Structures are given as C-alpha cells and as structure tokens.
Chain A
Amino acid sequence: VVALSRDAIRRAVLMSAIGSYSQGVFGAKRLHKVLYFAERESREKPFTFVKHLYGQWSEEVEDTLLQLAAAGAISVTPLDSGRGNSFRSTSSQLVSITQRVVEKALPDFHHALQATIRDRGYLPEERLTALAYELPEFSRAGAGVELVTGNVPERITVDISDQDAEDIELDLNPVFVSSMSKVVSAIDSSTLNLGRAPSTRLD
C-alpha cells in the first residue's frame, strides 16, 4: 500500500485516458468532454470543470497535459485541420501502469472512463459536443460556473506495488525529468574531464 499525491493521480488519469486511444486523442476539446462525461457518471472526480467558451473545460486537465508533455510522456502534434493538437502516449509501459493505478485508486472513475471512451469517445466531434451541450446542468449554468468539483484528496492510499508507485512518482514527474534534462545538457556541454576526479574506495 502506497500513498500517492493528487498531482500524481491526475497525471496517471490523463495518461490512462490518452493511452486508451490507440491512435491518440484528436483535440483537447474531445479529451475534456470525455473526462467530463466520465466524471459525471462517477463518484470520484479527479478534475474540476467549469462552463467555458468551448463547453465543459478544466484548467487542471490543461495543466496536467502540459506536465505530461514536459515529462516526455505524451507527444503533442498539430492536427492537419490546423485547429488544435493530437495527444499520444509515448510509452505503452507507462499506459499499462497508469491504467492499473487508476483502476486501484479510483475504481468507479476508471470504469466510467472506459465506458465513456467505448460509447462516446470516437463520436464525430460535432456529435460529441452536441451531447455535452445538451446536458441540463450545462444549459442552466452561466459562463465560468463550476459544473463538477474535483474531490480527490491531496494524498490517496493505493494498493499498488512499490514499483508501480515509483514509475508514477518519478517517470511521470515533470520536475524530475526537466531537472535531469538540465544535468544531461550540462554534462554534454562541459569540458570537465571526470578522469581527474579524486578516487574513493568503497570497502
């Protein structure tokens, strides 16, 4: 049993959702809608959603997408249409791990997400958007009003292996990845000859 931070859980949720699409997710709008539908049908709600110009929208989803891109866990490619981006996971191993973690940490949400992706995740965008706009709470709400409030605690105890926790906490951690990137870059641009370093014998 391991304690994971809410940020780590959110990264796992997005990675798991994006990884459920074999060709990646076409458009952030689709991703927001799919996550919203799943949260609406689940007791567990990893993200807060508001009524935005583009419909149901979550700042936390946007932030988490940027974190995953910074960690190199997803690739972001402009769509041919010139409107928006496609998001694709870069590691099938990380997708499997995150799906296992989300299933254990947020079982209700995991099942709702898988059902949403299966039933509505591949609808044409116009149809998906129309379904989202038809929801009664959406038509009733004014701009900027919170439609769903995230309810995942800051730390959550999950029955997963230390190894899975390790992958979620480190490999998907944008601060770690960007920090190590700086070290790799410094090593490569340095003329320091490590062979001149003092020796220590470990015994």
Chain B
Amino acid sequence: VDGCTFYAHRICFEQISEFIGSNLGSGLKSLQTQIRKICTDPDQAGERLKSDSPAIQGRVYKIWVRGDAVSKGKGHRLIYITVPAQKAALGVHFSLELRSEFSYKDVDWQALAEQVVQDFTEGRIEAFHRIEVPRG
C-alpha cells in the first residue's frame, strides 16, 4: 500500500484516546509522527511480523510510539494491519503501558479479534474511526 488513510478500530481508538488524555506533550507528538509515517508508507513505517503465516499475508505490523523520556527499543506499541484494497491501515491495538511494563501474554488477542471480525461482518461502520493528524 503506497500512501493510505489510517483508521482505528473502536478498541484501539479508546486506547489511543486514553493515551492522549495523559500524554498531551511528547507522547501525542510521537503518535502523530508515527501515524503520519504509516499514512505515507505503511509497509515501511512499522516492522512486519516475522512469522511467515500465509493467512497473515505479511500484513501485520507493529510500530513504537515514544515520548521524550522513552529510550530506543522501549515505548508504547501500536499494532496495525494493512488493507490494500482500500488503501488503508487499521490500528487494532495500542498498549497504554510501556512495553517493558506488560506482557503480551496478558492481552486477550482472541477476544480482540472476535470484536473486530464481528464489526466487519455486521458492517458496523461506527466501530471504525478515521484518524487525521495535523501536518508535521
């Protein structure tokens, strides 16, 4: 996908909203920068999942969101999936805690997937949010 629109599923949108509520400074700036990068080139912005599962089709990415006080290799994680047919990227998870303070084992991935799948299957457009960021 070359140049796209970033959307967030409602669960990810709630996480982003909560993050912004308590990180108005450099945290918000970092999130805006990363979303801008995703919109420019989603395949280059984040790191592609290294697993070679054919069902994933190389479309799942993770990207760091940091702030001033967060060093390299740490920070919050935004996980997104590319949607080439709609020139879009969809945020599905944003970690409110810093990466070093939580385990992915504690995230209920199956429940998250069920929610997203259900919203797609039932055509609930209100479950998705188009995210716009000011120009950098």
- Residue numbers of A with Cβ under 8 A of B are 2-3, 5, 8, 70-73, 90-91, 93-94, 161-163, 166-167, 169-173, 175-188, 190-203
Shortest CB distance B64–A (Å): 10
Flag B100-125 by CB within 8 Å of A: 1 or 0 each. 10011100011011101100110101
Distance (Å) between the CB of A63 and the closest chain B CB?
A: 16
User: Does the CB pair A5–B103 fall under 8 Å?
Assistant: yes
Q: List 28 A-B contacts (CB under 8 A).
A: A5-B103, A8-B105, A72-B52, A91-B51, A169-B105, A171-B51, A173-B105, A175-B109, A175-B110, A176-B109, A179-B110, A179-B113, A180-B60, A181-B53, A181-B55, A184-B56, A184-B57, A187-B81, A187-B83, A194-B88, A197-B126, A197-B130, A199-B130, A200-B131, A201-B134, A202-B20, A203-B133, A203-B134
Chain B: CB-nearest residue to A199: B130
Distance in Å from the Cβ of A184 to the closest Cβ of chain B? 6
Which label, helix, strand, loop or mixed, suits the secondary structure of the A interface?
A: helix
Residues of B within 8 A of A (CB): 5, 7, 13, 16, 20, 28, 31-32, 35, 49-57, 59-60, 62, 73-74, 77, 81, 83, 85-86, 88, 90, 92, 99-100, 103-105, 109-110, 112-114, 116-117, 120-121, 123, 125-126, 128-134
